[in-house]
Structure 1
Protein backbone atom coordinates (compact mmCIF):
# COMPACT_ATOMS: atom_id res chain seq x y z
CA UNK A 1 0.00 0.00 0.00
CA UNK A 2 2.68 2.50 1.04
CA UNK A 3 4.83 1.55 -1.94
CA UNK A 4 1.93 2.20 -4.31
CA UNK A 5 1.19 5.52 -2.58
CA UNK A 6 4.83 6.57 -2.94
CA UNK A 7 4.83 5.63 -6.62
CA UNK A 8 1.70 7.70 -7.13
CA UNK A 9 3.30 10.74 -5.51
CA UNK A 10 6.43 10.31 -7.62
CA UNK A 11 4.29 10.09 -10.74
CA UNK A 12 2.51 13.33 -9.86
CA UNK A 13 5.82 15.07 -9.27
CA UNK A 14 7.20 13.77 -12.56
CA UNK A 15 4.13 14.88 -14.47
CA UNK A 16 4.42 18.32 -12.89
CA UNK A 17 8.00 18.70 -14.06
CA UNK A 18 7.12 17.55 -17.58
CA UNK A 19 4.32 20.11 -17.74
CA UNK A 20 6.73 23.06 -17.40
CA UNK A 21 6.75 24.86 -20.74
CA UNK A 22 8.51 27.69 -22.55
CA UNK A 23 6.20 30.11 -24.39
CA UNK A 24 7.44 32.54 -27.03
CA UNK A 25 5.92 35.95 -27.80
CA UNK A 26 7.36 37.89 -30.70
CA UNK A 27 7.24 38.79 -34.38
CA UNK A 28 8.17 37.12 -37.68
CA UNK A 29 11.86 36.82 -36.77
CA UNK A 30 10.74 34.38 -34.06
CA UNK A 31 7.59 32.95 -35.64
CA UNK A 32 6.99 29.76 -37.60
CA UNK A 33 7.48 30.54 -41.28
CA UNK A 34 9.29 33.77 -40.54
CA UNK A 35 8.67 36.26 -43.34
CA UNK A 36 7.64 33.60 -45.87
CA UNK A 37 9.46 32.57 -49.07
CA UNK A 38 11.71 30.00 -47.44
CA UNK A 39 12.46 31.95 -44.27
CA UNK A 40 11.82 30.79 -40.72
CA UNK A 41 11.89 32.24 -37.23
CA UNK A 42 14.45 31.31 -34.60
CA UNK A 43 11.73 30.17 -32.20
CA UNK A 44 11.25 27.09 -34.35
CA UNK A 45 14.78 25.92 -33.50
CA UNK A 46 14.93 26.59 -29.77
CA UNK A 47 13.35 23.34 -28.52
CA UNK A 48 16.25 21.18 -29.75
CA UNK A 49 18.48 22.90 -27.18
CA UNK A 50 16.16 22.52 -24.17
CA UNK A 51 14.84 19.67 -22.04
CA UNK A 52 11.32 21.12 -21.81
CA UNK A 53 8.80 21.84 -24.59
CA UNK A 54 8.48 25.13 -26.44
CA UNK A 55 5.22 26.69 -27.64
CA UNK A 56 5.88 29.29 -30.31
CA UNK A 57 3.19 31.99 -30.02
CA UNK A 58 5.10 34.55 -32.09
CA UNK A 59 3.10 36.07 -34.96
CA UNK A 60 4.51 37.78 -38.03
CA UNK A 61 4.01 41.52 -38.29
CA UNK A 62 3.34 42.14 -34.62
CA UNK A 63 4.76 44.77 -32.30
CA UNK A 64 4.55 45.23 -28.54
CA UNK A 65 1.45 47.37 -29.15
CA UNK A 66 -0.38 45.18 -31.66
CA UNK A 67 0.36 41.97 -29.75
CA UNK A 68 -1.24 43.70 -26.76
CA UNK A 69 -4.18 45.25 -28.65
CA UNK A 70 -5.07 41.95 -30.32
CA UNK A 71 -5.32 40.26 -26.92
CA UNK A 72 -2.41 37.93 -27.55
CA UNK A 73 -0.67 38.79 -24.30
CA UNK A 74 -3.95 38.22 -22.47
CA UNK A 75 -4.19 34.79 -24.08
CA UNK A 76 -0.68 33.94 -22.86
CA UNK A 77 -1.42 35.28 -19.39
CA UNK A 78 -4.54 33.10 -19.21
CA UNK A 79 -2.65 30.05 -20.53
CA UNK A 80 0.55 29.96 -18.49
CA UNK A 81 0.90 28.07 -15.26
CA UNK A 82 3.17 28.82 -12.36
CA UNK A 83 6.75 27.93 -13.29
CA UNK A 84 6.32 28.32 -17.05
CA UNK A 85 8.81 30.50 -18.90
CA UNK A 86 7.77 33.23 -21.35
CA UNK A 87 10.37 34.73 -23.70
CA UNK A 88 9.27 38.13 -25.04
CA UNK A 89 11.04 39.71 -28.00
CA UNK A 90 9.76 42.64 -30.06
CA UNK A 91 11.20 45.66 -31.86
CA UNK A 92 11.27 45.08 -35.61
CA UNK A 93 7.74 46.42 -36.13
CA UNK A 94 7.57 49.04 -33.37
CA UNK A 95 8.95 52.05 -35.24
CA UNK A 96 7.00 55.17 -36.16
CA UNK A 97 4.62 55.23 -39.14
CA UNK A 98 2.48 57.83 -40.89
CA UNK A 99 -0.38 57.12 -41.19
CA UNK A 100 -0.60 54.86 -38.16
CA UNK A 101 -0.17 51.20 -39.05
CA UNK A 102 -1.54 49.76 -35.81
CA UNK A 103 1.95 48.73 -34.71
CA UNK A 104 3.94 51.86 -33.83
CA UNK A 105 4.55 52.86 -30.21
CA UNK A 106 5.03 56.27 -28.66
CA UNK A 107 8.69 57.28 -28.88
CA UNK A 108 10.62 57.08 -25.61
CA UNK A 109 10.95 54.68 -22.71
CA UNK A 110 8.70 56.39 -20.15
CA UNK A 111 5.92 54.23 -18.75
CA UNK A 112 3.53 57.20 -18.73
CA UNK A 113 4.61 58.66 -22.07
CA UNK A 114 1.91 58.71 -24.74
CA UNK A 115 1.50 60.00 -28.28
CA UNK A 116 -1.50 60.77 -30.45
CA UNK A 117 -1.23 59.19 -33.90
CA UNK A 118 -3.49 59.47 -36.92
CA UNK A 119 -4.95 56.50 -38.76
CA UNK A 120 -5.47 56.50 -42.54
CA UNK A 121 -9.13 57.47 -42.04
CA UNK A 122 -8.18 60.45 -39.89
CA UNK A 123 -9.03 58.82 -36.56
CA UNK A 124 -6.86 60.02 -33.67
CA UNK A 125 -5.45 57.24 -31.48
CA UNK A 126 -3.52 57.52 -28.22
CA UNK A 127 -0.65 55.05 -28.06
CA UNK A 128 1.82 54.15 -25.33
CA UNK A 129 5.52 53.30 -25.35
CA UNK A 130 7.19 49.99 -26.07
CA UNK A 131 8.15 49.83 -22.39
CA UNK A 132 4.55 50.43 -21.26
CA UNK A 133 3.17 47.50 -23.26
CA UNK A 134 5.92 45.10 -22.24
CA UNK A 135 6.04 46.11 -18.57
CA UNK A 136 2.31 45.45 -18.27
CA UNK A 137 2.68 42.04 -19.91
CA UNK A 138 5.67 41.06 -17.78
CA UNK A 139 4.03 42.10 -14.52
CA UNK A 140 0.81 40.24 -15.37
CA UNK A 141 2.77 37.11 -16.24
CA UNK A 142 4.70 37.35 -12.99
CA UNK A 143 1.41 37.63 -11.10
CA UNK A 144 0.45 34.24 -12.59
CA UNK A 145 3.70 32.72 -11.32
CA UNK A 146 5.28 32.57 -14.77
CA UNK A 147 8.94 33.44 -15.34
CA UNK A 148 9.26 36.09 -18.08
CA UNK A 149 12.52 36.66 -19.94
CA UNK A 150 12.84 39.90 -21.92
CA UNK A 151 14.99 39.53 -25.02
CA UNK A 152 16.20 42.27 -27.35
CA UNK A 153 15.30 42.03 -31.01
CA UNK A 154 17.54 40.28 -33.52
CA UNK A 155 19.82 42.27 -35.85
CA UNK A 156 19.07 42.70 -39.51
CA UNK A 157 21.71 42.04 -42.16
CA UNK A 158 22.95 45.62 -41.97
CA UNK A 159 26.67 46.21 -41.60
CA UNK A 160 28.86 49.09 -40.54
CA UNK A 161 32.30 48.34 -41.93
CA UNK A 162 33.19 44.78 -40.98
CA UNK A 163 30.61 44.42 -38.19
CA UNK A 164 26.84 44.28 -37.76
CA UNK A 165 25.51 47.80 -37.22
CA UNK A 166 24.51 48.91 -33.73
CA UNK A 167 20.98 48.10 -32.68
CA UNK A 168 17.99 50.47 -32.72
CA UNK A 169 16.47 52.08 -29.64
CA UNK A 170 14.34 49.02 -28.91
CA UNK A 171 17.43 47.12 -27.76
CA UNK A 172 18.06 49.38 -24.73
CA UNK A 173 14.28 49.71 -24.27
CA UNK A 174 14.06 45.93 -23.80
CA UNK A 175 16.84 46.07 -21.21
CA UNK A 176 14.97 48.86 -19.43
CA UNK A 177 11.81 46.75 -19.27
CA UNK A 178 13.73 43.87 -17.69
CA UNK A 179 15.40 46.17 -15.18
CA UNK A 180 12.14 47.85 -14.14
CA UNK A 181 10.26 44.57 -13.71
CA UNK A 182 13.10 42.61 -12.11
CA UNK A 183 13.28 39.86 -14.72
CA UNK A 184 16.18 38.43 -16.71
CA UNK A 185 17.30 40.23 -19.86
CA UNK A 186 18.97 38.42 -22.77
CA UNK A 187 20.94 40.70 -25.09
CA UNK A 188 19.92 38.66 -28.10
CA UNK A 189 20.83 41.44 -30.52
CA UNK A 190 24.47 41.46 -29.53
CA UNK A 191 24.79 37.69 -29.12
CA UNK A 192 23.53 37.30 -32.69
CA UNK A 193 25.80 40.13 -33.84
CA UNK A 194 28.74 38.28 -32.25
CA UNK A 195 27.85 35.11 -34.20
CA UNK A 196 27.38 36.98 -37.50
CA UNK A 197 30.57 38.99 -37.07
CA UNK A 198 32.58 35.81 -36.56
CA UNK A 199 31.02 34.19 -39.61
CA UNK A 200 31.61 37.31 -41.73
CA UNK A 201 29.37 39.32 -44.03
CA UNK A 202 29.39 36.92 -46.98
CA UNK A 203 28.36 33.87 -44.94
CA UNK A 204 25.80 35.89 -43.00
CA UNK A 205 24.21 37.35 -46.12
CA UNK A 206 23.51 33.81 -47.32
CA UNK A 207 21.19 33.46 -44.28
CA UNK A 208 18.89 36.22 -45.61
CA UNK A 209 17.19 34.93 -48.78
CA UNK A 210 14.16 37.25 -48.65
CA UNK A 211 15.31 40.62 -47.33
CA UNK A 212 17.67 41.98 -44.69
CA UNK A 213 15.38 40.98 -41.77
CA UNK A 214 14.19 37.39 -42.23
CA UNK A 215 16.50 34.41 -41.99
CA UNK A 216 16.61 31.08 -43.74
CA UNK A 217 16.15 27.99 -41.54
CA UNK A 218 19.94 27.69 -41.27
CA UNK A 219 20.20 31.32 -40.25
CA UNK A 220 17.34 30.94 -37.77
CA UNK A 221 19.24 28.10 -36.13
CA UNK A 222 22.30 30.35 -35.70
CA UNK A 223 20.02 32.97 -34.12
CA UNK A 224 18.52 30.33 -31.78
CA UNK A 225 22.00 29.20 -30.78
CA UNK A 226 22.90 32.80 -29.98
CA UNK A 227 19.89 33.06 -27.68
CA UNK A 228 20.96 29.88 -25.89
CA UNK A 229 24.46 31.32 -25.48
CA UNK A 230 22.88 34.40 -23.92
CA UNK A 231 20.92 32.18 -21.55
CA UNK A 232 24.01 30.26 -20.49
CA UNK A 233 25.87 33.50 -19.81
CA UNK A 234 23.03 34.92 -17.71
CA UNK A 235 21.14 34.16 -14.52
CA UNK A 236 17.83 32.79 -15.81
CA UNK A 237 16.52 29.59 -14.26
CA UNK A 238 15.89 28.44 -17.84
CA UNK A 239 19.58 27.77 -18.32
CA UNK A 240 19.19 24.73 -16.07
CA UNK A 241 16.92 23.34 -18.81
CA UNK A 242 19.56 23.64 -21.55
CA UNK A 243 20.49 20.17 -22.80
CA UNK A 244 23.87 18.86 -23.98
CA UNK A 245 23.34 20.19 -27.51
CA UNK A 246 22.60 23.61 -26.05
CA UNK A 247 25.67 23.48 -23.85
CA UNK A 248 27.73 23.07 -27.02
CA UNK A 249 26.47 26.11 -28.95
CA UNK A 250 29.33 28.24 -30.31
CA UNK A 251 30.84 31.53 -29.12
CA UNK A 252 31.34 32.86 -25.62
CA UNK A 253 29.90 35.37 -23.21
CA UNK A 254 29.85 39.03 -24.17
Structure 2
Protein backbone atom coordinates (compact mmCIF):
# COMPACT_ATOMS: atom_id res chain seq x y z
CA UNK A 1 0.00 0.00 0.00
CA UNK A 2 1.46 3.33 -1.11
CA UNK A 3 -0.79 6.14 0.21
CA UNK A 4 1.22 8.75 -1.65
CA UNK A 5 0.43 7.20 -5.03
CA UNK A 6 -3.28 6.51 -4.61
CA UNK A 7 -5.81 8.87 -6.14
CA UNK A 8 -8.21 9.82 -3.37
CA UNK A 9 -10.82 12.52 -2.80
CA UNK A 10 -11.72 14.16 0.48
CA UNK A 11 -15.18 12.54 0.39
CA UNK A 12 -13.54 9.14 0.79
CA UNK A 13 -11.77 10.34 3.94
CA UNK A 14 -14.66 12.31 5.43
CA UNK A 15 -16.00 9.40 7.54
CA UNK A 16 -12.84 9.69 9.64
CA UNK A 17 -14.13 13.02 10.93
CA UNK A 18 -17.67 12.02 11.91
CA UNK A 19 -18.97 10.05 14.85
CA UNK A 20 -21.34 7.12 14.47
CA UNK A 21 -24.42 9.32 14.13
CA UNK A 22 -23.45 10.14 10.54
CA UNK A 23 -22.97 7.80 7.56
CA UNK A 24 -21.23 9.11 4.43
CA UNK A 25 -22.19 7.91 0.95
CA UNK A 26 -19.63 9.28 -1.51
CA UNK A 27 -20.88 9.74 -5.08
CA UNK A 28 -18.08 11.89 -6.46
CA UNK A 29 -16.47 11.05 -9.82
CA UNK A 30 -13.36 12.45 -11.46
CA UNK A 31 -13.72 14.54 -14.58
CA UNK A 32 -17.35 15.59 -14.18
CA UNK A 33 -19.00 19.00 -14.26
CA UNK A 34 -22.17 20.45 -12.77
CA UNK A 35 -23.75 19.49 -16.09
CA UNK A 36 -22.34 16.03 -16.82
CA UNK A 37 -22.93 14.84 -13.25
CA UNK A 38 -26.63 15.15 -13.99
CA UNK A 39 -26.63 14.10 -17.65
CA UNK A 40 -24.63 10.93 -17.05
CA UNK A 41 -27.08 9.74 -14.40
CA UNK A 42 -24.98 10.15 -11.26
CA UNK A 43 -27.28 12.71 -9.72
CA UNK A 44 -30.26 10.43 -10.40
CA UNK A 45 -28.83 7.99 -7.86
CA UNK A 46 -28.73 10.71 -5.20
CA UNK A 47 -32.23 11.87 -6.11
CA UNK A 48 -33.58 8.35 -5.86
CA UNK A 49 -32.11 7.44 -2.48
CA UNK A 50 -31.86 10.71 -0.57
CA UNK A 51 -34.69 11.41 1.83
CA UNK A 52 -35.86 14.35 3.94
CA UNK A 53 -33.33 15.09 6.65
CA UNK A 54 -30.32 13.97 4.61
CA UNK A 55 -27.48 16.28 3.62
CA UNK A 56 -26.00 16.54 0.13
CA UNK A 57 -22.58 18.14 -0.36
CA UNK A 58 -21.83 19.65 -3.77
CA UNK A 59 -18.34 20.49 -5.00
CA UNK A 60 -17.61 21.30 -8.64
CA UNK A 61 -15.52 23.77 -10.59
CA UNK A 62 -12.33 22.07 -11.76
CA UNK A 63 -13.89 20.71 -14.91
CA UNK A 64 -16.59 23.35 -15.40
CA UNK A 65 -13.70 25.76 -15.75
CA UNK A 66 -12.66 24.19 -19.04
CA UNK A 67 -15.98 24.70 -20.81
CA UNK A 68 -17.22 28.08 -22.10
CA UNK A 69 -20.82 27.30 -21.16
CA UNK A 70 -19.98 26.40 -17.57
CA UNK A 71 -18.03 29.42 -16.44
CA UNK A 72 -18.44 30.63 -12.87
CA UNK A 73 -21.04 33.32 -13.49
CA UNK A 74 -22.81 31.29 -16.17
CA UNK A 75 -23.73 27.62 -16.36
CA UNK A 76 -21.84 26.72 -13.21
CA UNK A 77 -23.88 29.12 -11.10
CA UNK A 78 -27.18 28.17 -12.76
CA UNK A 79 -26.56 24.45 -12.27
CA UNK A 80 -25.68 24.87 -8.59
CA UNK A 81 -28.84 26.92 -8.08
CA UNK A 82 -30.88 24.12 -9.59
CA UNK A 83 -29.28 21.52 -7.30
CA UNK A 84 -29.95 23.71 -4.26
CA UNK A 85 -33.60 24.34 -5.12
CA UNK A 86 -34.34 20.70 -5.94
CA UNK A 87 -32.93 19.43 -2.66
CA UNK A 88 -34.54 22.09 -0.53
CA UNK A 89 -37.88 21.29 -2.16
CA UNK A 90 -37.68 17.67 -1.00
CA UNK A 91 -36.43 18.42 2.51
CA UNK A 92 -32.80 17.52 1.84
CA UNK A 93 -30.19 19.94 3.19
CA UNK A 94 -27.71 21.13 0.53
CA UNK A 95 -24.17 22.15 1.46
CA UNK A 96 -21.75 23.81 -0.97
CA UNK A 97 -18.02 23.10 -0.86
CA UNK A 98 -15.68 25.43 -2.73
CA UNK A 99 -13.17 23.73 -5.08
CA UNK A 100 -9.75 22.65 -3.83
CA UNK A 101 -7.00 25.06 -4.89
CA UNK A 102 -4.63 23.65 -7.48
CA UNK A 103 -0.87 23.65 -6.90
CA UNK A 104 -0.37 25.97 -9.88
CA UNK A 105 2.35 28.62 -10.10
CA UNK A 106 3.49 31.06 -12.77
CA UNK A 107 6.80 30.13 -14.35
CA UNK A 108 7.64 33.76 -15.11
CA UNK A 109 7.75 35.15 -11.57
CA UNK A 110 6.89 32.06 -9.47
CA UNK A 111 3.78 33.65 -7.98
CA UNK A 112 0.69 31.58 -7.26
CA UNK A 113 -1.88 31.28 -10.04
CA UNK A 114 -5.37 30.92 -8.57
CA UNK A 115 -7.53 29.36 -11.27
CA UNK A 116 -10.62 28.74 -9.16
CA UNK A 117 -11.19 31.86 -7.08
CA UNK A 118 -14.18 32.97 -9.14
CA UNK A 119 -15.84 29.57 -8.77
CA UNK A 120 -15.31 29.67 -5.00
CA UNK A 121 -16.79 33.17 -4.86
CA UNK A 122 -19.95 32.01 -6.64
CA UNK A 123 -20.44 29.33 -3.97
CA UNK A 124 -20.14 31.94 -1.23
CA UNK A 125 -22.67 34.16 -3.00
CA UNK A 126 -25.15 31.31 -3.41
CA UNK A 127 -24.74 30.31 0.22
CA UNK A 128 -25.71 33.80 1.31
CA UNK A 129 -28.60 33.89 -1.15
CA UNK A 130 -30.16 30.60 -0.04
CA UNK A 131 -29.10 30.60 3.60
CA UNK A 132 -27.06 27.39 3.36
CA UNK A 133 -23.56 26.60 4.64
CA UNK A 134 -20.60 27.03 2.31
CA UNK A 135 -17.49 25.11 3.35
CA UNK A 136 -14.61 27.17 2.00
CA UNK A 137 -12.16 24.39 1.18
CA UNK A 138 -10.64 26.62 -1.48
CA UNK A 139 -9.45 29.10 1.13
CA UNK A 140 -7.95 26.41 3.37
CA UNK A 141 -6.21 24.52 0.56
CA UNK A 142 -4.92 27.72 -1.02
CA UNK A 143 -3.46 28.81 2.30
CA UNK A 144 -1.75 25.42 2.62
CA UNK A 145 -0.27 25.61 -0.88
CA UNK A 146 0.91 29.17 -0.36
CA UNK A 147 2.55 28.32 2.97
CA UNK A 148 4.25 25.22 1.59
CA UNK A 149 5.18 26.50 -1.85
CA UNK A 150 5.21 24.55 -5.10
CA UNK A 151 7.65 21.81 -4.14
CA UNK A 152 6.66 21.21 -0.52
CA UNK A 153 2.96 21.06 -1.41
CA UNK A 154 3.51 18.30 -3.97
CA UNK A 155 3.55 15.37 -1.49
CA UNK A 156 -0.21 15.72 -0.85
CA UNK A 157 -0.95 15.48 -4.58
CA UNK A 158 -0.56 12.46 -6.84
CA UNK A 159 2.96 12.50 -8.35
CA UNK A 160 3.07 14.73 -11.43
CA UNK A 161 -0.43 16.08 -10.76
CA UNK A 162 -1.39 19.45 -9.33
CA UNK A 163 -5.11 18.91 -8.82
CA UNK A 164 -5.81 15.35 -7.63
CA UNK A 165 -4.86 14.55 -4.05
CA UNK A 166 -3.41 11.27 -2.84
CA UNK A 167 -4.49 9.59 0.40
CA UNK A 168 -2.44 12.00 2.50
CA UNK A 169 -3.95 15.00 0.74
CA UNK A 170 -7.48 13.66 0.85
CA UNK A 171 -7.25 13.12 4.60
CA UNK A 172 -5.91 16.65 5.06
CA UNK A 173 -8.64 18.17 2.87
CA UNK A 174 -11.33 16.18 4.68
CA UNK A 175 -9.96 17.66 7.90
CA UNK A 176 -10.44 21.14 6.49
CA UNK A 177 -14.00 20.25 5.49
CA UNK A 178 -14.69 18.98 9.01
CA UNK A 179 -13.27 22.19 10.46
CA UNK A 180 -15.51 24.23 8.18
CA UNK A 181 -18.57 22.19 9.19
CA UNK A 182 -17.88 23.01 12.81
CA UNK A 183 -17.42 26.70 12.10
CA UNK A 184 -20.13 27.27 9.48
CA UNK A 185 -22.85 24.94 10.76
CA UNK A 186 -22.55 25.47 14.51
CA UNK A 187 -25.26 27.85 15.61
CA UNK A 188 -26.93 27.86 12.19
CA UNK A 189 -30.55 28.97 12.30
CA UNK A 190 -31.51 25.68 10.67
CA UNK A 191 -31.23 23.13 13.48
CA UNK A 192 -30.31 20.30 11.08
CA UNK A 193 -27.09 22.07 10.10
CA UNK A 194 -26.23 22.78 13.72
CA UNK A 195 -26.73 19.09 14.51
CA UNK A 196 -24.26 18.14 11.77
CA UNK A 197 -21.60 20.28 13.44
CA UNK A 198 -22.14 18.36 16.68
CA UNK A 199 -21.24 15.10 14.93
CA UNK A 200 -17.77 16.22 13.79
CA UNK A 201 -14.72 14.63 15.42
CA UNK A 202 -11.00 15.40 15.35
CA UNK A 203 -10.24 12.48 13.08
CA UNK A 204 -7.48 9.97 13.72
CA UNK A 205 -4.71 12.48 14.36
CA UNK A 206 -2.00 13.88 12.10
CA UNK A 207 -1.04 11.90 8.99
CA UNK A 208 1.66 13.56 6.93
CA UNK A 209 3.73 12.34 3.96
CA UNK A 210 7.41 11.80 4.67
CA UNK A 211 10.00 12.48 2.01
CA UNK A 212 9.50 12.49 -1.74
CA UNK A 213 6.50 10.66 -3.20
CA UNK A 214 7.33 8.41 -6.14
CA UNK A 215 5.21 5.97 -8.10
CA UNK A 216 6.43 2.45 -7.16
CA UNK A 217 8.00 0.38 -9.90
CA UNK A 218 6.47 -2.91 -10.92
CA UNK A 219 8.21 -5.85 -9.17
CA UNK A 220 10.59 -7.71 -11.46
CA UNK A 221 8.64 -10.97 -11.13
CA UNK A 222 5.64 -9.28 -12.75
CA UNK A 223 7.53 -7.56 -15.56
CA UNK A 224 5.91 -9.69 -18.29
CA UNK A 225 2.35 -9.20 -17.02
CA UNK A 226 0.62 -6.28 -18.77
CA UNK A 227 -0.94 -3.53 -16.71
CA UNK A 228 -4.76 -3.77 -16.61
CA UNK A 229 -5.11 -0.24 -17.98
CA UNK A 230 -2.38 -0.64 -20.58
CA UNK A 231 -1.43 2.73 -22.02
CA UNK A 232 -4.78 4.26 -21.12
CA UNK A 233 -4.57 7.56 -19.30
CA UNK A 234 -7.03 7.23 -16.45
CA UNK A 235 -6.99 10.85 -15.35
CA UNK A 236 -5.67 13.14 -18.06
CA UNK A 237 -6.98 16.36 -16.55
CA UNK A 238 -3.51 17.68 -15.75
CA UNK A 239 -2.44 17.67 -19.38
CA UNK A 240 -5.76 19.14 -20.53
CA UNK A 241 -5.64 21.87 -17.91
CA UNK A 242 -2.20 23.05 -18.90
CA UNK A 243 -3.37 23.47 -22.49
CA UNK A 244 -6.50 25.32 -21.42
CA UNK A 245 -4.61 27.67 -19.12
CA UNK A 246 -2.06 28.54 -21.77
CA UNK A 247 -4.75 29.28 -24.31
CA UNK A 248 -7.06 31.24 -22.02
CA UNK A 249 -4.69 32.94 -19.60
CA UNK A 250 -1.48 32.90 -21.64
CA UNK A 251 0.40 31.75 -18.57
CA UNK A 252 3.16 29.17 -18.24
CA UNK A 253 2.75 26.65 -15.44
CA UNK A 254 5.46 24.93 -13.46
Query: Which band: TM-score by shorter chain?
Result: 0.5 to 0.7
Q: Is 1:214–2:178 an aligned residue pair?
A: no
Shift of 1:241: 1.2
Shift of 1:72: 2.4
Q: Taking CA–CA contacts closer than 8 Å with sequence separation of 6 or more, which of the two structures ends up with the larger relative contact order? A: 2
Post-superposition Cα deviations, 1:27-47, rounded to whole Å, max 9, x if no partner, equal: xxxxxxxxxx62211111110
Shift of 1:131: 1.3
If each structure's strand is expressed as a fraction of its own residues, which one has the higher value?
A: 1
Aligned residue pair count: 190
Q: Is 1:178–2:127 an aligned residue pair?
A: yes
Q: Is 1:197–2:152 an aligned residue pair?
A: no
What residue in structure 2 maps to residue 166 of structure 1? 114
The equivalent position to 1:70 in structure 2, one of 29, 35, 40, is 40
In structure 1, stretches of 5+ residues that fail to align are 1-36, 98-103, 111-128
CA gap of 1:134–1:81, structure 2 versus 1, over 3 A, is: same
Shift of 1:106: 4.0
Q: Secondary structure at the match of 2:80?
A: helix
In structure 2, stretches of 5+ residues that fail to align are 186-192, 208-254
Please report the RMSD computed on the Cα atoms of aligned residues, expressed in angstroms: 2.7
C-alpha distance in 1 between matches for 2:206 and 2:133? 20
Q: Secondary structure at the match of 1:227?
A: helix
CA gap of 1:167–1:107, structure 2 versus 1, over 3 A, is: closer
Question: Structure 1 segments of 4 or more deviating over 6 A?
Answer: 160-163
C-alpha distance in 1 between matches for 2:14 and 2:110? 28
TM-score of the superposition, structure 2-length normalised? 0.66
C-alpha distance in 1 between matches for 2:151 and 2:176? 19
